């Protein structure tokens, strides 16, 4: 199997590190997507045998998974494997790629369920899965409540994505030693992302407005399964030593949190044509992000009127004008500048951990470029 540049990597820099390892013009995301297509095809007969419209529902999940996304998680896992010494030209290259691709099905589960929890109506410019099935219910004049039907089907499809992620990993073709090394990492990652999701909704219900709580959510809901554990997974697939795993996890935690901080900014200031979500969506859905918590903390200390404005506005059906007013308040309070400073510090800390590690020079270049791409998205 040919080695491929990962998303966000500069081909000139990567080829200068190892011209022989990167001869292909193919893109890594395309290989992940083909692996996903092959997996869905392998399940088609099983699904069709069940009948009753199940195949149509699963086709919606397949469309959702293949619709877009940067394939960040499998790219980090793959690059972690390369950095530990993995050979993409070797006999285990295809199986490792399939194992890394399984992360996209975990991501699909998280997104489908997260959209229900957040009552989001669009994802990547399309109706969210639960809204799509709600519309289908109403369009067919079926009995019962359309919204409840949509959520119920989306929950099941999210569960199916998680179950199939396990299947894809198990059937990837990695050898028994690699499977044994990967198993505890995979288990920890699934537990952490669900724990992070619990912390998120629990904080909102309890009205926990602290920066510390928001950062804990970032650590487990996003950083752990977006970058830290995928890198750890790649290292485990190869059989890397503890020192490299520790360096990867430090790098992954810092970049993962920075990634979420950037996402928080996009959730308030992002262009809908870029984010695929309504402008100011995080404010309307009431997400207690680090950005919002930092703004509220500063307002409580210096500007009670701004603090009241933020508390009254979050989680309500804001007009575009009201969203703009909250954006101005958040910016004037210094929360945007604070987020940018946090991102810069985390990127620098991650870079130091990576540079001092035993990862291959090629992987260090790739991971640096990927980190920049993940944390410097514009809004």
Q: With bands split at pLDDT 50, 70 and 90, how would you rate the model's confidence at 246?
A: very high
Q: What is the mean pLDDT of residues 51-63?
A: 97
Q: What is the mean pLDDT of residues 183-197?
A: 96
Q: Is 60 exceeded by the pLDDT of residue 24? A: no
Q: Is 90 exceeded by the pLDDT of residue 16? A: no
Q: Is 80 exceeded by the pLDDT of residue 21? A: no
Which residues lie across from 123 on neighbouring strands?
A: 126
Q: What is the mean pLDDT of residues 37-66?
A: 97
Instruction: Spell out the domains of the chain, with CATH numbers in brackets.
Output: 11-375 (1.10.600.10)
Of 74-78, 104-108, 271-275, 324-328, the one with minimum mean pLDDT is: 271-275
**Could you tell me which of 147, 56, 71 has the C-alpha nearest to residue 108?**
71
Residue with more model confidence, 276 or 217: 217
DSSP state of 227: I
According to the model, what pLDDT value does residue 379 have?
61
Q: Is 50 exceeded by the pLDDT of residue 40? A: yes
Contacts of 167 (CB under 8 A, 6+ apart): none
Q: With bands split at pLDDT 50, 70 and 90, how would you rate the model's confidence at 272?
A: confident
- Helical spans, DSSP H, in 141-241: 146-170, 176-206, 211-217, 229-238
Q: What is the mean pLDDT of residues 215-239?
A: 96
134-139: long-range contacts (C-beta < 8 A, 24 or more apart)?
none
Convert the pLDDT of each residue in 82-126 to its tens digit.
999 999 989 999 999 999 999 999 999 999 999 999 888 988 889
Is residue 169 within 8 A of residue 186, CB to CB? The reply is yes
Is residue 38 within 8 A of residue 85, CB to CB? The reply is no
Is residue 105 within 8 A of residue 225, CB to CB? The reply is no
Q: What is the mean pLDDT of residues 326-332?
A: 97
According to the model, what pLDDT value does residue 43 have?
98
Q: Is 90 exceeded by the pLDDT of residue 258? A: yes
Convert the pLDDT of each residue in 150-172 to its tens digit.
999 999 999 999 999 999 999 99
Distance, CA of 257 to CA of 14 (rounded, Å): 25
The label of the residue with tokens 């219900």 reads: 205
Residue with more model confidence, 25 or 301: 301
Query: At CA 354, angle to CA 349 and CA 358, rounded to 5?
Result: 150
Please report, rounded to a whole number, the percentage of residues in the chain having pLDDT higher than 70: 92
Q: With bands split at pLDDT 50, 70 and 90, how would you rate the model's confidence at 265?
A: very high
The distance of Cα 258 from the centroid of its chain, to the nearest Å, equals 12
CA distances from 87 to 23, 229, 341 (A): 14, 20, 37
Measured in degrees and rounded to the nearest 5, phi and psi for residue 22 equal: -130, 60
Report yes or no on whether pTM surpasses 0.85: yes
Q: Is 50 exceeded by the pLDDT of residue 10? A: no
Q: Is 50 exceeded by the pLDDT of residue 14? A: no
Q: With bands split at pLDDT 50, 70 and 90, how would you rate the model's confidence at 6?
A: very low
């Amino acid at each position: 199997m040919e080695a491929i540049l990962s998303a966000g990597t500069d081909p000139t820099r990567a080829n200068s590190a190892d011209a022989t390892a990167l001869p292909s013009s193919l893109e890594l995301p395309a290989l992940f997507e083909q692996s996903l297509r092959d997996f869905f095809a392998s399940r088609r007969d099983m699904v069709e045998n069940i009948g009753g419209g199940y195949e149509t529902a699963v086709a919606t999940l397949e469309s959702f998974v293949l619709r877009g996304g940067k394939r960040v998680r499998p790219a980090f896992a793959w690059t972690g494997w390369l950095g530990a010494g993995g050979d993409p030209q070797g006999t285990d290259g295809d199986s490792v790629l399939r194992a890394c691709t399984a992360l996209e099905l975990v991501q699909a589960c998280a997104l489908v369920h997260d959209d229900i929890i957040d009552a989001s109506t669009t994802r990547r410019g399309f109706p969210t899965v639960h809204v799509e099935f709600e519309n289908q219910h109403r369009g067919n004049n079926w009995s019962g409540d359309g919204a409840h039907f949509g959520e119920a089907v989306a929950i099941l499809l999210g569960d199916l994505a998680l179950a199939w992620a396990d299947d894809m990993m198990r059937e990837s073709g990695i050898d028994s030693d690699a499977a044994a090394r990967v198993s505890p990492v995979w288990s920890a990652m699934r537990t952490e992302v669900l724990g992070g999701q619990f912390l998120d909704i629990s904080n909102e219900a309890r009205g926990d407005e602290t920066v510390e709580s928001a950062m804990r959510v970032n650590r487990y809901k996003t950083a752990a399964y977006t970058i830290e554990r995928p890198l750890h997974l790649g290292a485990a697939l190869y059989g890397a030593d503890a020192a490299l795993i520790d360096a990867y996890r430090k790098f992954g935690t810092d970049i993962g949190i920075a990634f979420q901080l950037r996402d928080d900014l996009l959730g308030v200031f992002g262009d809908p044509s870029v984010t695929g979500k309504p402008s100011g969506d995080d404010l309307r859905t009431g997400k207690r992000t680090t950005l919002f918590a930092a703004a509220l903390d500063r307002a409580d200390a210096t500007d009670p009127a701004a603090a009241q404005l933020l508390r009254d506005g979050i989680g309500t059906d804001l007009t575009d004008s009201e969203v703009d007013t909250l954006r101005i308040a958040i910016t004037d309070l210094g929360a945007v500048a604070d987020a940018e400073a946090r991102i810069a510090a985390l990127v620098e800390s991650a870079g130091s951990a990576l540079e001092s590690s035993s990862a291959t020079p090629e992987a260090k270049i790739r991971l640096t470029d990927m980190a920049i791409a993940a944390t410097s998205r514009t809004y």
